[in-house]
Amino acid sequence: MTRYVMVIDKRRCIGCQSCTVACRTWNDLPLDIVYNPVVTEGTQGTWPNVHRDWTPLLCMHCANPECVPCCPTGASQQDEDGTVWIDSKKCMACKVCVNACPYGMRDASHLEPRLHRFVRKCTFCRDRRQMDPSAKPYCVDTCHQKARIFGDIDDPESEVSKLIGSVKTERLFTEFGTDPQIYYIPELGGKA
Residues that bind another protein (CB under 8 A): 31-32, 34, 37-42, 53, 55, 57, 66, 69-75, 90-96, 98-104, 107-108, 110-111, 115-119, 172-173, 176
In single-letter form, the type of residue at position 116 comes to H
**Residue 5: its H or E element:** strand 4-9
Taking the least distance from each CB to another protein, the nearer of 7 and 71 is 71
In single-letter form, the type of residue at position 192 comes to A
Residue 48: cis peptide before it, omega within 30 degrees of 0: yes
Taking the least distance from each CB to another protein, the nearer of 111 and 167 is 111
Name the minimum Å distance from CB 81 to another protein. 21
Name the minimum Å distance from CB 75 to another protein. 8
Name the minimum Å distance from CB 165 to another protein. 25
Name the minimum Å distance from CB 104 to another protein. 6
Dihedral class, residue 143 (left if φ above 0, else alpha if ψ from -120 to 50, else beta): beta
Taking the least distance from each CB to another protein, the nearer of 26 and 118 is 118
Taking the least distance from each CB to another protein, the nearer of 52 and 126 is 52
The 8 Å CB, 24+ separation contacts for 34-39 are 35/59, 35/105, 35/120, 35/121, 35/122, 36/122, 36/139, 38/13
